[in-house]
A and B are shown apart, each in its own frame.
Chain A
Amino acid sequence: MNLVLAKTDTGRAISDIFAVARDRLPGAGKIADARRQAFESYERAGLPHRRIEDWKYTDLRVLMRDVLPLAAAPDAAALKRAEAAAKAHAVEGARRLVLVDGVFAPKLSDVGRLESGLSIRTLRDVLEADDAALHAQLLAPDNSDAMVALNSAMMTDGLVIEIADGTALTQPLHIVHIASSAQPAAMFTRSLLKLGKTAGATLVESYIAADGAKSYQVHDALVLAIGDGARLDHVRLVEDGRDAFNISSSVVTLGTRAHFNTFGMTSGAGVSRYQAVIAVAGEHSRVETNGVNLLNGRQHADSTLFLDHAVPNCSSREIFRAVVDDRAHSVFQGRIIVRPKAQKTDAKMMTRALLLSDEAEADNKPELEIFADDVTCGHGATTGALDESLLFYLRARGLSEKEAQALLIQAFVGEAIEQIANDHLREMAIATAQRWLEARA
């Protein structure tokens, strides 16, 4: 393979995209400089490929080949289609914030009557305002990863949400990413959620396609800053179109006695990758990371998690389940690092994959890097098919093959879904899994 040539080709195509899009990208001065630098670092690296260790199982040079041009701002027709999609995926009782083709759509969003202590702005407004501290926070994601760098260079819009100290939101926030363009295009979004001391919130993110959306690319980034004693519940549902790409990164930092509970479910998108960097920077904090991949056809989904324990007395739990059918490919990479000072860390990670077809593939890479001696850390990984004897037991009691399988799969993914704290959201996730199983039957 001629990597040098491949790189220049992709490099050139995207250079044009950046040049063309530049006028539409918000922010001047330092922001524009940061964009240029980020873009240069993306250009140097090009799309990640299998020779880059973190991208070993998700070779974007093969899977994605090119970054598509920046999506045009949605027109009235597009917004109409998006509205229908947003309604179909509504979360009851949540405050909806809609991004259509990478641009905030105020008409589809619910930004009226904000609770006291809650502030919602668009990324575009924040980048164009003069707020160095917020800018620095927005630029926190590490551009050494090529796809993060690309996002840093191209980010067009998103949401900047701030929750004041002591404010506990009762209404969940729901950020909906909708693709509506009939033209193949890419959208670049970045959002920030800042929780003040002892604040509390629930954040739901959905990625969906409106009718007629064609092979689009989602390039998203999320920055979460969880203050001392604050709690964030986070649910992420990837239900993109089957020919779509979803490349998302998140950077999470926790203060002391903070609590972060996150759940991700990927049943959509042709190729998806979610990479999360969670830094536990304050003592006595807790992190629960759970995920489910439900894949079939030729889907490819990659969850890459990097959990960084830098201080003592924190705990973390990861539960990951993958159900892989047909010729789909599920990837889980989880790295836990326990730094020298992080004594009394309690970190556990369990990843399990269920292969339903002979051509399905599951790759697991659970890593531990431990530099402190007084810790309890562990990981487990299993891969296999459904247990024949359990199937037989259920068949013997009159269930059909598919019903028996569905029951076992439901129990299998249930372990991860049960960790969702919000009852309504948990029901939603269970319903999504059920739909997937019914479609199978």
Chain B
Amino acid sequence: MAAVQETVDRVRRIDVDQYRYGFETLIESDKAPKGLSEDTVRFISAKKNEPAWMLEWRLEAYRRWLTMTEPKWARVDYPKIDYQDLYYYSAPKKKEIGSLDEVDPEILKTYEKLGIPLREVEMLEGVVRPEGERRIAVDAVFDSVSVATTFQKELKAAGVIFMPISEAIREHPELVKKYLGTVVPTTDNYFATLNSAVFSDGSFVYVPPGVRCPMELSTYFRINERNTGQFERTLIIADKGAYVSYLEGCTAPQRDENQLHAAVVELVTHDDAEIKYSTVQNWYPGNSEGKGGIYNFVTKRGDCRGNNSKISWTQVETGSAITWKYPSCILRGDNSRGEFYSIAISNGHQQVDSGTKMIHLGKNTTSRIISKGIAAGVSQNTYRGLVTAHRKATGARNFTACDSLLIGDKCGAHTVPYVEAKNSSALFEHEATTSKISEDVLFYCVQRGLSQEEAVGLVVNGFVKDVLQQLPMEFAVEAQKLISISLEGSVG
């Protein structure tokens, strides 16, 4: 079925040429010499005052990286990246800041423009907040370094550690050493290995046993400098019975050249713990001729180590020239649960190859994958997912639904699911047509007088809203604008 006109108009409104965050902040920055060598790795490590073990870890990754080749299996097409033509480290000048007042006002302005509340304004002015209003602690990463982290004191009182990973390496080496690289090993893949060698900053979160993190944690990534790559590393640990919700947002200036973003995110949940990880990715997607834009090559993986633990990924992907990203869950603990909710919109010349992996290892593990891909312009939108149950994963359950909508006849939507069952009690269901989403519910609605189409719309929209409600306010508003698209005319 062709897309309805309303949908077409809405998508046009979010066309790539109307990228709202394409401005550039003119500040002086401190950069590593162009190119990548052991010296670059040493330079970054020295800049961060890292202990010797960390440098060794990086160098090992770097040496490994030299022996690897760039993966070619994804359905994306881009000119060869010259890794020697990039800056691997760029930091705004004027370092060693004690308080927010010492942060370069230009940077603060940048975040204000982006709508990210770095100043805890109301707090400072003693404004009484309505009961139950959501507050968000933000860690802002500007090019290669974290410039500000808010609500540090409150978090400390709760026992939650939330700080730039570069600080965590110095202040909590035992935690970092114990968890870093255990979910995404340095040898994992080309981009993860590169990241391990040159990552500059990112967020570190540790939630101690039994603690429910009192507020949403958030990181806002901004690429500003020309010709730089951004390599952030995020590590989140939820100890026994802990809960944390973490959000991530990304933007970059409008430039004619492509920029590389190769991040690694590692999540660990122990017994009964839960991590909810949400992303609104809105990197600059390039102009309508496909010039410029960010290459977003990201490795995200969560490890449900403990029993009854849960990891949930929610992503709204609208930006980047090329996306190569598969947030995954390793369901190791018995009764653990993994979730992946994704809405990926591609327009112009964007190329998206995204999906998830659900690896069932423990008993009675369950997972759910809901993916909506919307392709317009001359973009290519691919869902690539793996669901696998190992021999010992008795009672594993998975439900997957991936729907795609095509707008125009020059774009493409693809689904590449891998379903591997090595255990007879594993029950896997994979659907790729809207009409097949829960026949029971549809039947119920139709029986009560709704038309088939209304019923489908109700079920699907209800679900999408559910995903959006998981996002914090400012993200939800933005995301809603991007995805309030009729799902009529979906193809699986």
Contact = CB atoms under 8 A, between A and B. Distances in A.
Contacts of B458: none
Contacts of A369: 412, 414
Interface in A366-385: 366-385
Interface string B398-423: 00000010111111111111111111
A381 B417 CA distance: 9
A318 to B, nearest CB: 13
Contacts of A343: 409
A362 B3 CA distance: 36
B424 A385 contact: yes
A373 B2 contact: yes
Contacts of B425: 358, 385
A416 interface: no
A370 B428 contact: no
B292 interface: no
B409 A371 contact: yes
B417 A366 contact: yes
A379 B415 contact: yes
A365 interface: yes
Given A340-B409, A364-B430, A355 B424 contact: yes
Interface string A207-246: 0000000000000000000000000000000000000000
Contact of A377 (B417, B424, B491): B491
B118 interface: no
A373 B415 CA distance: 15
A140 to B, nearest CB: 26
Nearest to B400: A381
Contacts of B424: 355-358, 360, 384-385
Contacts of A356: 424
B260 interface: no
Interface stretch (B184-192, B294-302, B431-439): B431-439
A381 B401 CA distance: 10
A78 to B, nearest CB: 41
B311 to A, nearest CB: 23
Nearest to B491: A377
A382 B436 CA distance: 13
Interface residues of B, number: 38
Contacts of B411: 371, 373
Contacts of B359: none
A378 B421 contact: no
B491 A384 contact: no
Contacts of A367: 414-417
A356 B408 CA distance: 45
Contacts of B492: 368, 377-379
A378 B437 CA distance: 12
A374 B491 CA distance: 9
Contacts of A308: none
Nearest to A341: B409
A99 B391 CA distance: 42
Contacts of A353: 421
B2 A374 contact: yes
Given A377-B491, A380-B430, A381-B428, A370 B414 contact: yes
A123 to B, nearest CB: 37
A383 B436 contact: no
B410 A340 contact: yes
Contacts of B413: 368, 370
B78 interface: no
B3 A373 contact: yes
A361 interface: yes
B121 interface: no
A176 B39 CA distance: 68
Contacts of A382: 427-430
Contacts of A427: none
A67 B413 CA distance: 39
A340 B491 CA distance: 15
A9 interface: no
B52 interface: no
A363 interface: yes
Contacts of B16: none
A53 interface: yes
A368 B430 contact: no
Contacts of B408: 373
B392 to A, nearest CB: 10
A358 B391 contact: yes
A362 B426 CA distance: 11
A13 B416 CA distance: 36
B94 to A, nearest CB: 50
A311 B288 CA distance: 29
B428 A376 contact: no
B414 A383 contact: no
Contacts of B391: 358-359
Nearest to A353: B421
Contacts of B433: 378-380
Given A378-B492, A384-B428, A365 B415 contact: no
A21 B391 CA distance: 45
Interface in B1-54: 1-3
Contacts of A372: 406, 409
Q: Which of B1, B391, B413 has the most CB of A within 10 A?
A: B413
A384 B387 CA distance: 13
A384 B436 CA distance: 18
Contacts of B409: 340, 343, 371-374
Contacts of B432: 366, 368, 378-380
Contacts of A380: 429-433, 436
B491 A361 contact: no
Among A340, A357, A380, the most chain B Cβ lie within 10 Å of the Cβ of A380
Interface string B72-106: 01000000000000000000000000000000000
A366 B415 CA distance: 8
Contact of A383 (B404, B412, B427, B489): B427
Q: Which of B407, B413, B424 has the most CB of A within 10 A?
A: B424
Interface in A320-364: 340, 343, 353, 355-364
B196 to A, nearest CB: 24
A369 B413 CA distance: 6
A379 B413 CA distance: 14
A416 B409 CA distance: 33
Interface string A373-400: 1111111111111000000000000000
Given A355-B421, A361-B420, A374-B2, 9 more contacts: A358-B391, A358-B424, A363-B420, A367-B416, A370-B414, A373-B408, A378-B491, A380-B432, A381-B430
Q: Give the 9 A-B CB pairs with smallest separation, nearest first.
A: A378-B433, A355-B424, A378-B492, A373-B406, A381-B430, A383-B421, A364-B419, A384-B427, A383-B428
30 contacts: A343-B409, A353-B421, A355-B423, A357-B424, A358-B424, A361-B421, A361-B422, A365-B416, A365-B419, A367-B415, A368-B413, A368-B414, A368-B415, A369-B414, A370-B406, A371-B412, A373-B3, A373-B409, A376-B1, A378-B433, A378-B436, A378-B491, A379-B492, A380-B429, A380-B430, A381-B430, A383-B426, A384-B421, A384-B426, A385-B425
